[in-house]
Amino acid sequence: MLKVEGLWKTYTVDGGEIPAVRGVDFTVETGEFFTLLGPSGCGKSTTLRCIAGLEVPNSAEITLGEIDLFSSRQRRSVPIHKRNIGMVFQSYAIWPHMSVYDNVDFPLKVKGVPDRREKVMRALELVGLHHLEDRSATNLSGGQQQRVAIARAIVMDVDLLLFDEPLSNLDSKLRIQMRFELRQLQKQLGITSIYVTHDQEEAMVLSDRVAVMDDGNIVEIGKSQDIYLEPRKLFTAKFVGQSNLLLGEVVSADGANATVKTAIGQIAIETHKSTAPSEGFLMIRPEHIPMSWTKEDLPSADVNVFEGTIVSETFTGKLMDYRIRVGEVTFEVQTPLRHALQNENRVFIHLPPERCVMLPKDTSGIS
Ligand code: ADP
Ligand code: MG
């Protein structure tokens, strides 16, 4: 288990101190795949580099299992080469003048580990490169180079794997395939892993849990599904996926059912969490809004049906993106079907109560 408490890190820029990470706390369970997700510059890499020992925190308590990797309290810091951690970066960072085999063998050789060949070949097999052991690392594709880097990170029996946007330099098709492979590999090996990315889809696919970061802070931590379907913070709703947000106020509540007053009228919602605020933003994802030409065609829509006008439609390949104007509010709606335009673009949309989430107005100034 990895525990990070009160991690602060500032950089000196032009004589001034700029905070990059402002008191971050989290715990990663043994065998868990944990992701730091957030926009560029929010402090993800700095957090990871402090855990690896590549940066020195201003203050923190970082423990891995029984070992204090870094402790301000005890004035202790385990040097980087003594931390049993593997790391994979965005740039492949493999040695071009060496063969595939020698690249992976390198960390074992430095430490004088016995039975090296067996270990190197096992690692290469795990990433599907055993047939290329003699190939010079320069003669590899980007995906293959990154596999070498992964094999090199797992060849030692590490306690923790750190990934800093390792798939960002690959083309989109390969990125999707490698996501899947990486997840399989991590499950198979059961190594506790922390992954850094700004790509929310990647975070969803790979992770057991996700920590959403902004401006040096962790905004919220949750299971991938919960972060997407039931975010608790406005920043999460905006950053992870697309969302429709309507200012609203709860006017009545009865157990899990509540009614929210909004600019387009009253909307019935099911409150999923006891912490739902009485005032804030009602959120619904574009793909959770059914639409139709007639009211009758909307399945199980006894409440929350609104008449609107199609403002635009965009073909995205997978889905149709519609912008639907209801009163003063424009909804984004995604459907797998193309709704051939007719009836002067008049449509009905349904906001299923169980898909509506109440979020607090942002008090941190993040939005
Ligand atoms: P992320 O990985 O989320 O994109 P980083 O951790 O790399 O973010 O950076 C967080 C903040 O710290 C940014 O504002 C960045 O400009 C700054 N920063 C990162 N590394 C350095 C450095 N070596 N020197 C000065 N500022 C840095
Ligand atoms: Mg980064």
Is pTM, for the whole model, over 0.85? yes
Nearest ligand for residue 165 CA: 2
Element (H, E) at 204: helix 200-206
Q: Looking at residue 363, what is its pLDDT? A: 63
Q: Looking at residue 293, what is its pLDDT? A: 85
What atom in ligand 1 is closest to the CA of residue 47?
6
Res. 299: pLDDT tops 50:
yes
Res. 300: pLDDT tops 90:
no
Q: Looking at residue 295, what is its pLDDT? A: 86
43 CA → ligand 1 middle, Å: 6
Strands of the sheet with 16-28, listed across from one edge = 16-28, 2-13, 59-64, 67-71, 76-77
Ligand 1 pocket by Cβ (under 6 Å): 11, 13, 18, 20, 38, 40-46
Q: What is the greatest pairwise CA distance in the chain?
A: 76
Closest residue by Cα to atom 1, ligand 1, is 41
Interval 32-55: pLDDT, tens: 999 999 999 999 999 999 999 999
Interval 107-150: pLDDT, tens: 999 989 999 999 999 999 999 999 999 999 989 999 999 999 99
For 13, the 3-state DSSP assignment is: strand
φ, ψ of residue 63 to 5 degrees: the values are: -125, 140
What atom in ligand 1 is closest to the CA of residue 45?
2
Res. 212: pLDDT tops 90:
yes
Res. 365: pLDDT tops 60:
no
Q: Which residues pair with 201 in a beta bridge?
A: none
Q: Looking at residue 366, what is its pLDDT? A: 44
The type of residue at 250 is V
Nearest ligand for residue 40 CA: 1
Q: Looking at residue 177, what is its pLDDT? A: 92
287 CA → ligand 2 middle, Å: 30
Question: Where on the phi/psi map is residue 216: left (φ > 0), alpha (ψ -120 to 50), or beta?
Answer: left
